[in-house]
Amino acid sequence: MKLLLTTILLIFGIFSSKAQIDDFPIVKYNDINEGTFSIDSTADAIVLLEKGRTFIQSSDVDRAYMVYHTHKIRIKIINKEGFKHANFTLPLYKYGSTFERIESIKGITHNLENGKINATSLENKNIFSENNSAYIKLSKFTLPNIKEGSIIDVEYTIISPDIFNFRTWNFQSDIPKIRSEYNVLIPAVYKYNVTLKGGLKLTDTKSKIENACLTIYNSRVDCSNITYSMDSIPAFIEEPYMLASKNYLSAVYFELEEAIVAGGSKQSFTKKWSDVDRELLTEKSFGGQIKKQDIFKEKIAPSIFATEDLYSKANMIYSWIQKNIKWNNTYGKYSQYGIEEALKTKNGNVADINLALIAALNAAGLDAYPILVSTRNNGLPNNLHPVISDFNYVIAGLKIDDNIIQLDATDRLLPFAQLPLRAINGKGRIIYNKKSSEWIPLTNQIISIANYIFNGKLSLDGTISGELTINSFGLEAYNKRNDILEYASMEEYTEKLDERLPHIDFEKTEILNLEDTQNVLSIVTDVIIQTNQKLINGNNFYINPIFIDRTTRNPFNLDNRTYDVDLGAKRIETYEINIQMPEGVSLVSAPKNVNLKLPENSAKYIYTSDYTDNVLSVEQFLSLAKSIYTTDEYFGLKEVFSRIIQQLKVDYTFKYESK
Amino acid sequence: MNRFNLVITTIIATALLCSNISMGQQYAVELIPKGLKSRASAIVRDEQITLDMKNEANISHIVTKAITILNPAGDQYAAMVLSYNKSVSIKDIKGQILDEFGMPIGKFTSKDFKDYSASDQVSMYDDVRIKHYDPNINTYPYTIVYTYESKHSQNLFIPYWQPNKYSDVAVEKSSYTFSCQPTLNIRIKEQNIPNKVELETTEKYKSYTWTATNINAQKAEPYAPIEKKDAIVVKIAPESFKYFKKQGTASDWNSLGKWFYDDLLKDKQDLPLATIAKMKDLTANAKTTKEKAEIIYKYMQNKTRYISIQVGIGGLEPFPASYVDRLGYGDCKALVNYTQALLSAVDINSVYCIVEAGNNKVSLDESFANAVDGNHIILCIPMEKDSIWLECTSNKHPFGYLGDFTDDRLVLACTAEGGKIWRTATYPSHKNIQIRKAYFDINKEGSLKGKMHTTFSGTQFDNHYSNVFRSPIEQVKALKSYYDVDNITFNTVNYQITDTDSPKLTEDLAIAIKNYVVKNENQLILQPNIFNITRNIPESKNRSNAVYINRGYTDIDEIEYTLESELAGKITPIEKVINCPMGKYELRIFSEGTKVTIKRYISINQGEYSADSYQQFYDFMKEVSASDRIKYTLNLAHN
């Protein structure tokens, strides 16, 4: 009997070792049978266990030291919505001329079938490799036989030539995790600065010294063996109007501070800003481009250079660059083609354009400096010490009278001094010279303005005719210009406007400053509005004078808010409406005047109206005085919009009595 | 001689490019004929497409094109997006950018192209790759001139010629030439061609050339039929063809369907014996074919999921049934083939059907058999009455439900006897119903609290169906977008599917809306229609296309409000009936004691109507839209 038992165990042992990931517990009946998890009873899939390990080893194939990243993960697929978590796309990057490789991909699906656990393995021929671009390859696979309740185990190793870089480990993802741990073996020749980002805390950190773990440059070095672990990690859920999720995800980051390189000398990687300043400004594709001022002395009209007013001189140069180099939709802080080539082909990346702008401004005798930026989707840059790879974008900082004006010429529809949303992300680093640089908040210095003016007259047939002017500036104008230019001609745009708002006829429309981004964009149009009510002696009639772009939906409709609200720019919206009524019209009732403020005037809403001499005058004013609101302020904002919606539901009631 | 032909076209192509360099100005914008610029975002100045079929496995496809981009809306037509795979290779890409005066400002070759895989969110892997180039020019107008050759090692898919496909692109000149051996039988379909084809025959080859000149851009019209009435199309299909290593002949849908069946499908139904036995076992107690099929369909849904992998001929040929049985996934072809195999294990005959999927009801061209039509596969179980149609890529949808993805259109059924043209299940307007009934209490502050019950059926079944499977947090988020009302909260959410003859989704919600009714002194302002407010449709003056309504529907809404206090007198009741050929609308609003009730009915009928009837439709929708927004000022009785 005892013999039989051990034999069974042995057979079982053999079987399970085949369909098993090393040092993961055996999948048990209850693991699959279990339906809900206390951590998140509503998840579609849940990570039961995740283990990562990074170490350096000499690789015979590559004849070099390589970093090995091993990743093991066990996921429970709870329902059909969770099936997508059985699909894997793993990017492999190119460093220098070498691509990272992926090895030992193992995937096992465990299912409960007729009371027994059945394991199916991923077959090698079902793993695909795709050349995504010149720099990225993708390894793609999906696990077989996925069902509701399946438990999947996946293991793979990525071998990377980028030996200075210990990858960021994300504890948090879009599904909850019961446990995630990351083990690193850092040789004593490296010194890393390790930081934990995000709102969650580590459950545990274990570290020990491993003696002589690696032979490097013919000597044995010790390693620090550190394990970071986190338990009960909730899923990360994105919200509208927020910065990149990367800024909020709980993760551990490694930055190399110094390393002992061949020959035994120490090389510092975490530099002082002064080192970075010098390096960038001597770099050919950065500082080297800024130096090329002479090109512009030939290309830009002398009359521009001779302009006296510094502000308008800068403005003209800015427009010139906008017109002469088109952005190729590539980010970068280093010039891609060089500014000469970019000017010739009228095409370049962000650095080609904005470094050219700096050079041109300098050529005109203005003080302009590069500002390093990390874009919104790239996350916030490290603000403790310089991490050059955090920055993926560059803009110009123009200094006039001790003010720094932030400029980005990548988009021809951006007015002078306005930044595109992608470049507004925390702080940027302005580099004055080889010895000095400082942090500077990236903000939209231009307030987004929408202004509606209407002067009209009501006729007895119930139509209101008059002149409507819609002025916009800043972000609002930028969005509108983009919208208008979608159409083949202005006529077609106004035609569309006419079709979109059938109760309003746009008779004669003029668009002013469509391409002149420095000025207010104005749409001036003669309109006829149908109220669909005839004025009948002795009867009431109703008018809602905010007849265009009326707020009817609340942009802030969440029940809870976890992260800051980022609007990208401050905003002001105003309406000034005057409607002349026919003789014999008297006001019966009107919406109440409103004056609403959030603490510190961070948002304001004012609505006033008046009826004198048969003229109805309505003024509405809304200001959002901040571009970023905290989660505490969210409900204030929500309430302001809610009050506006309610206010605008109320019509004016008039009575008509002919004499 | 074929070779000679190629040489000629290459010379023409090179000459064309060179001539720009030497003479310039040929494409100066001022040379564009008057009138062509009206409504145009871009103008094709000169396009020459030549297809030289040397043999079934060797087609040289040369495109030479000059297109002037007038404004940013036309940038999309300057982009070059060329796809290639094992059967199509692209070579000799050369191009130039010209300024307004036709002077060159830049040139490009294949090394300036991005090269990436065509696989996207939908496909896990696709061996079709894309070469992509954007000229990125900032100053308008500009002209892009280019030439390239693509080599096809198959002749099953010959690209169509559709010079006026985009309404905002005008055409100065476009030509399309097809040449092959004189003895070959080719089938040609021409539609709205402006000039007669030019035929040239020698001993060695015959060639056909179609030309179109001076086509104006047009205004895109709302509710236009799927195919514009003046669309110029030339389709070509050789009677005998080669695709990867497969050979075939087809002169009509019957023979093409037969080829699909014999060469791509027939031997793919290799189920393991255990699975066959299991199917028999599962259906042992089922009586009818329909019951058995439903059991098997549900088994397939639980066993599989949709994963698209397109490799080589796999773009046309399904993976065998054994593959899906082993791995539990597949694309539309593999899943249909698998389901077909499972059904035949219990002796149910079913048919693999090629369909053009999408909300627009696009039928296969009944008059012209070709392999280009169709982008999806569904399964049909032929029955004497009401055949059963199965969408095999959804592991959630009810048995026999196609919805608006593949309904009511002609498909190619690939049977053992050959291809047949069948029409998929149709959902008439009166069966696409949404019925909603809600009860709300209005308190003194004007806040609403109550319950809402909605059922969805026919093609409307899908309206909120995806929400059934979301987590409670995500469900509420989706509900906030379906019912986008300020201050709305959902306290209970409940979905139920009844799956009798036609599936029905029932949604039960407990809803509260803070301050929905605005209080102004002793008045309440109520817009009784909260959830089903129709938008206006755009105006369409001087219309040339017929009015086309792709799919009809019927919505019935009723909301009963109960106020906390009595109203001072009754509200003026509303009773409205509006009719037009495209639909019917009824609205009733009335009060009784503390209750205000709104009843709304709208039905829109699918079909095609004359161009001048658009005004009637427009007026109808305008009045519906205004009626849907009616507001009431309720005067409360003083207590």
Tell which residue, B461, B457, B405, has the closest CA to residue B431. Answer: B457
Is pLDDT of A15 > 50? no
Distance (Å, rounded) from C-alpha A498 to C-alpha A500?
A: 6
Domain boundary among B220, B246, B272: B246
Domain with B571 in it: what CATH number? 2.60.120.1130
pLDDT of residue A5: 40
Contacts of A326 in chain B (CB under 8 A): 136-138
Tokens (6 digits) for B435: 């019925």
- Highest average pLDDT, of A232-241, A526-535, B252-261, B314-323, comes from B252-261
Same domain, B311 and B459: no
Is pLDDT of A511 > 50? yes
pLDDT of residue A7: 40
Same domain, B231 and B85: yes
A538-580 pLDDT, tens digit per residue, is 888 989 898 888 888 888 887 778 888 888 889 999 999 999 9
Range A273-441 has CATH code 3.10.620.30:
yes
Selecting from B137, B470, B625 the residue whose C-beta is nearest the C-beta of A346 gives: B137
ipTM for the whole complex: 0.84
Distance (Å, rounded) from C-alpha B108 to C-alpha B90?
A: 15
Yes or no, beta carbons of B487 and A126 under 8 Å apart: no
Chain A residue whose CA is closest to B217: A488
The neighbouring-strand residues paired with B104 are B98
DSSP output for B451-475:
EEEEEEEGGGGGTTGGGGGS-HHHH
Same domain, B275 and B396: yes
B587-598 pLDDT, tens digit per residue, is 999 988 889 999
Same domain, B397 and B321: yes
Selecting from B116, B302, B486 the residue whose C-beta is nearest the C-beta of A553 gives: B486
pLDDT band at B17 (very low <50, low <70, confident <90, very high): very low
Tell which residue, B49, B115, B58, has the closest CA to residue B88. Answer: B58
Percent of chain B with pLDDT over 90: 70
pLDDT of residue B13: 42
Yes or no, beta carbons of B520 and A132 under 8 Å apart: no
Same domain, B558 and B623: yes
Å between A354 CA and nearest CA of chain B? 16
Yes or no, beta carbons of B484 and A487 under 8 Å apart: no
Yes or no, beta carbons of A559 and B476 under 8 Å apart: yes
Domain residue limits at B33:
2-246
A397-423 pLDDT, tens digit per residue, is 999 998 999 999 999 889 898 998 889
Is pLDDT of A208 > 50? yes
Contacts of B542 in chain A (CB under 8 A): none
A360-395 pLDDT, tens digit per residue, is 999 999 999 999 999 988 888 887 778 888 899 999
pLDDT of residue B6: 36
pLDDT of residue A8: 41
Residue range(s) of every CATH 2.60.120.1130 domain in chain A: 448-656
B544: helix, coil or strand?
Answer: coil
- How many Cβ atoms from other residues are within 10 Å of residue B245's Cβ? 8
pLDDT band at A6 (very low <50, low <70, confident <90, very high): very low
Same domain, B241 and B279: no
Domain with B170 in it: what CATH number? 2.60.40.3140
pLDDT of residue B562: 93
- How many Cβ atoms from other residues are within 10 Å of residue A478's Cβ? 23
Distance (Å, rounded) from C-alpha A175 to C-alpha A169?
A: 15
Yes or no, beta carbons of B138 and A412 under 8 Å apart: yes
Yes or no, beta carbons of A130 and B307 under 8 Å apart: no
Domain with B259 in it: what CATH number? 3.10.620.30
Yes or no, beta carbons of A503 and B626 under 8 Å apart: yes
Chain B residue whose CA is closest to A553: B486
Tell which residue, A231, A230, A48, has the closest CA to residue A150. Answer: A48
Is pLDDT of B476 > 60? yes
Tokens (6 digits) for A453: 């003016």
Q: How many Cα atoms within 13 Å fall on the side-chain side of residue B268?
A: 25
Å between B525 CA and nearest CA of chain A? 7
Domain boundary among B402, B423, B444: B423
Is pLDDT of A164 > 80? no
- Highest average pLDDT, of B280-294, B314-328, B526-540, comes from B280-294
B574: helix, coil or strand?
Answer: strand
Per the CB < 8 A criterion, the answer to whether A644 and A605 are in contact is: yes
pLDDT band at B399 (very low <50, low <70, confident <90, very high): very high
Same domain, B177 and B274: no
What are the start-end ranges of the E strands in B244-399?
246-249, 305-306, 308-310, 329-330, 351-355, 376-381, 388-390
Mean pLDDT for the stretch of residues A17-35: 74
A3: helix, coil or strand?
Answer: helix
pLDDT of residue B638: 60
> Number of folded domains in chain B?
3
Per the CB < 8 A criterion, the answer to whether A619 and A574 are in contact is: yes
Yes or no, beta carbons of A132 and B71 under 8 Å apart: no
Residue range(s) of every CATH 2.60.40.3140 domain in chain A: 29-267
SS3 breakdown of chain B: % helix, strand, coil, rounded to 5?
25, 40, 40
Same domain, B379 and B434: no
The neighbouring-strand residues paired with B379 are B352, B390
Distance (Å, rounded) from C-alpha A219 to C-alpha A212?
A: 9
A113-160 pLDDT, tens digit per residue, is 888 888 999 999 899 998 887 788 999 999 999 999 999 999 999 999
Contacts of A79 in chain B (CB under 8 A): 469
Range A448-656 has CATH code 3.40.50.10860:
no
Yes or no, beta carbons of B469 and A80 under 8 Å apart: yes
A383: helix, coil or strand?
Answer: coil
B438-451 pLDDT, tens digit per residue, is 999 998 888 999 99
Percent of chain A with pLDDT over 90: 46
Yes or no, beta carbons of B521 and A42 under 8 Å apart: no
Instruction: Mutation target for B interface from A36, A88, A146, A321: give the one with most B CBs within 10 A.
Output: A146
Same domain, B408 and B436: no
Chain B residue whose CA is closest to A495: B539
Domain boundary among B379, B397, B423: B423
Yes or no, beta carbons of B105 and A131 under 8 Å apart: no
Q: Kindly state whether B114 is in contact with chain A, defined as any CB-CB distance less than 8 angstroms.
A: yes
- DSSP count for chain A of H helices, then E strands: 12, 36
Q: Taking CA B212 as the corner, what is the angle to CA B208 and CA B214, rounded to the nearest 5 degrees?
A: 165
Task: Please report the residues numbered 453 through 482 in chain B whose beta carbons come closer than 8 angstroms to any beta carbon of chain A.
Answer: 469-473, 476, 480
When mean pLDDT is compared across A284-298, B145-159, B302-316, B592-606, the lowest value belongs to B302-316
Selecting from B40, B114, B473 the residue whose C-beta is nearest the C-beta of A42 gives: B473
Angle between helices B273-282 and B289-303 (to 10 degrees): 130
pLDDT of residue B314: 61
The neighbouring-strand residues paired with A472 are A450, A521
- Residue A292: which residues within 8 A CB-CB, separation 6 or more? A339, A340, A359
Tokens (6 digits) for B422: 């069948």
pLDDT of residue B121: 63
Is pLDDT of B270 > 90? yes
Distance (Å, rounded) from C-alpha A234 to C-alpha A39?
A: 7
Q: In this structure, what are the phi and psi dihedrals at residue B353, rounded to the nearest 5 degrees?
A: -125, 130
Q: Taking CA A582 as the corner, what is the angle to CA A581 and CA A588, rounded to the nearest 5 degrees?
A: 60
Same domain, B324 and B457: no
Same domain, B433 and B290: no
Same domain, B483 and B437: yes
Is pLDDT of A217 > 80? no
State which CATH number among 3.20.10.10, 1.10.1200.10, 3.40.50.10300, 2.60.40.3140 fits the domain covering A29-267: 2.60.40.3140
Residue A383: left if φ>0, alpha if ψ -120 to 50, beta else—which one? alpha
Per the CB < 8 A criterion, the answer to whether A652 and A616 are in contact is: yes
pLDDT of residue B386: 87
Distance (Å, rounded) from C-alpha B177 to C-alpha B198?
A: 9
Residue range(s) of every CATH 3.10.620.30 domain in chain A: 273-441
pLDDT band at A657 (very low <50, low <70, confident <90, very high): very high
